[in-house]
């Protein structure tokens, strides 16, 4: 029996790499559902190649185009936000890979969990916004959440075979991004072209900017808390510019386990999709002789404020991380549209955190309202500045 995967965000960086994994292992995986927002051409091409039962194009204006292109295949086409959410509930889905970007991942993930589908989670924003809700729902519905993010996959791989051995702490590695070692004076004038040039990974625009500001590492600290049930003081971050050691776990006897390899997201994607089994691959192998020095540095929290902010909101709990996530999404978009500078991203987050009402025990509708209020506030703040 093939494992039937629904890929949410199939036209993105993670989505297309997941399809490469499926293409290389056609006896093991099948595609049940593909979804995208705007990239109708690629979605059509993917649907013709992988023959899912259902596809969803988020942008309703593109429905006719996708529907016409797929009319001679037995593929059901839907469009719009509600279809993006409900499509995960179909009976013949075994696993949902959440590879869309941003807050938009939250509701489809909730629906998938409630429908009892295992999750391969790339969309870290879902756990950042509502980690408590998502992990408790997963427990209640006996659903597994397998990490796709490379650092969390590394931790997950280090935990294999450890049974109930407690984690003393984890160490998340960070490449440091394109501006490692730079000061605030330098960062004040950097362009989006510079920020989009990640040294080691090729990824979507939003996560690439998050990597440059170290917000990505901050989001990953929060993601790790929820995935592995840790306290803030059990989560360390270390800068490792070569991105060979993908993260580490320290146990109570002092032993540290690391997971290593050349940077390639297909490995964590296939580990999540086929856990607990490892799939044979032809990915290029790491060779120690090619990397005679793997180096490690302390992250610069004064220059890269967003990582410090993430630790603060982790301690604070409630809807604080939801505020940070929404403010960051708006600020990154504004930076990509040349409306604010690089350092302005942190300013938008800090001011949003100060202004938006804190809620200690948020419900789902509190998260929805917090997200909306923060987006409105952050957008207005940027408008005023422009």
Tell me the HSE value of 156 on the side-chain side, using a 13 A CA sphere: 25
Closest approach of ligand NDP to the CB of residue 145, in Å: 14
Q: What does 8-68 look like in DSSP terms, one character per residue?
A: ETTTSHHHHHHHHHHHH-TTTEEEEEEEESS-HHHHHHHHHHH--SEEEESSGGGHHHHHH
What is the C-alpha to C-alpha distance for residues 51 and 33, in angstroms, rounded to an integer? Answer: 9
Q: Is 58 one of the binding residues for ligand NDP (CB under 6 A)? A: yes
Residue nearest to ligand NDP as judged by C-beta position? 12
Total of chain residues touching ligand NDP, rule CB under 6 A = 28
What is the C-alpha to C-alpha distance for residues 109 and 121, in angstroms, rounded to an integer? Answer: 9
Q: Is 84 one of the binding residues for ligand NDP (CB under 6 A)? A: yes
Return the one option of Mg ion, ligand NDP, none that residue 300 interacts with (CB less than 5 to 8 A, by type). none
Residue ranges in 142-171 that form contacts with Mg ion under rule CB under 5 A: 149-151
* Segment interacting with ligand NDP, rule: CB under 6 A, options 35-43, 70-78, 318-326, 369-377: 35-43
Q: Is 9 one of the binding residues for ligand NDP (CB under 6 A)? A: yes
Residues 6+ apart with CB under 8 A from 372: none
Closest approach of Mg ion to the CB of residue 157, in Å: 14
Residue ranges in 273-312 that form contacts with ligand NDP under rule CB under 6 A: none
Residue ranges in 215-274 that form contacts with ligand NDP under rule CB under 6 A: 265
Which CB atom, from 151 or from 300, has the smaller least distance to ligand NDP?
Answer: 151
Local structure of residue 236 (DSSP, 8 states): E
The β-bridge relationship of strands 29-36 and 3-8 is parallel
Structure-token pair, residue 43 = 């979605």
The residue within the footprint of ligand NDP, chosen from 70, 129, 207, 381 (CB under 6 A), is: 207
| Radius of gyration over every alpha carbon of the chain, rounded to an integer in angstroms | 20
Return the one option of Mg ion, ligand NDP, none that residue 325 interacts with (CB less than 5 to 8 A, by type). none
What is the C-alpha to C-alpha distance for residues 34 and 57, in angstroms, rounded to an integer? Answer: 9
- Residues making contact with ligand NDP (CB under 6 A): 9-15, 36-39, 58, 84, 99-101, 104, 122-125, 149, 201, 203-204, 206-207, 265
- Residues making contact with Mg ion (CB under 5 A): 149-151
């Amino acid at each position: 029996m093939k494992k039937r995967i629904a890929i949410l965000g199939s036209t993105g960086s993670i989505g297309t790499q997941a399809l490469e994994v499926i293409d290389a292992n056609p006896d093991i995986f099948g595609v049940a559902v593909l979804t995208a927002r705007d990239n109708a051409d690629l979605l059509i091409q993917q649907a013709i190649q992988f023959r899912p039962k259902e596809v969803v194009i988020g942008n309703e204006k593109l429905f006719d185009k996708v529907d016409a292109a797929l009319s001679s295949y037995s593929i059901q086409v839907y469009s719009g936000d509600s279809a993006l959410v409900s499509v995960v509930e179909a009976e013949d889905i075994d696993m949902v890979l959440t590879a869309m970007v941003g807050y938009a991942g939250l509701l489809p993930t909730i629906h998938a969990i409630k429908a009892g589908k295992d999750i391969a989670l790339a969309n870290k924003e879902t756990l950042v916004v509502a980690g408590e809700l998502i992990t408790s729902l997963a427990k209640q519905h006996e659903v597994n959440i397998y990490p796709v993010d490379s650092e969390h996959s590394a931790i997950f791989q280090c935990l294999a075979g450890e049974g109930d051995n407690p984690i003393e702490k984890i160490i998340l590695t960070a490449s440091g991004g394109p501006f490692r070692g730079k000061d605030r004076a330098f960062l004040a004038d950097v362009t989006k072209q510079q920020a989009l040039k990640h040294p080691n990974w090729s990824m979507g625009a939003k996560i690439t900017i998050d990597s440059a500001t170290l917000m990505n590492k901050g989001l990953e600290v929060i993601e790790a808390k929820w995935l592995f049930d840790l306290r803030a003081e059990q989560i360390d971050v270390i800068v490792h510019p070569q991105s060979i050691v993908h993260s580490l776990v320290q146990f109570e006897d002092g032993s540290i386990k690391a997971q290593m390899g050349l940077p390639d997201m297909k490995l964590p994607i296939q580990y999540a999709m086929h856990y607990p089994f490892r799939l044979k691959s032809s990915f290029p192998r790491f060779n120690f002789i090619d990397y005679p020095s793997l180096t490690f540095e302390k992250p610069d929290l004064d220059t890269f404020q967003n990582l410090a902010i993430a630790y603060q909101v982790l301690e604070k709990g409630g809807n604080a991380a939801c505020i940070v996530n929404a403010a960051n999404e708006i600020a990154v978009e504004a930076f990509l549209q040349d409306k604010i500078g690089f350092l302005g991203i942190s300013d938008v987050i800090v001011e949003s955190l100060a202004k938006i009402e804190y809620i200690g025990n948020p419900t789902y509708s509190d998260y929805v309202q917090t997200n909306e209020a923060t987006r409105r506030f952050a957008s207005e703040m940027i408008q005023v500045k422009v």
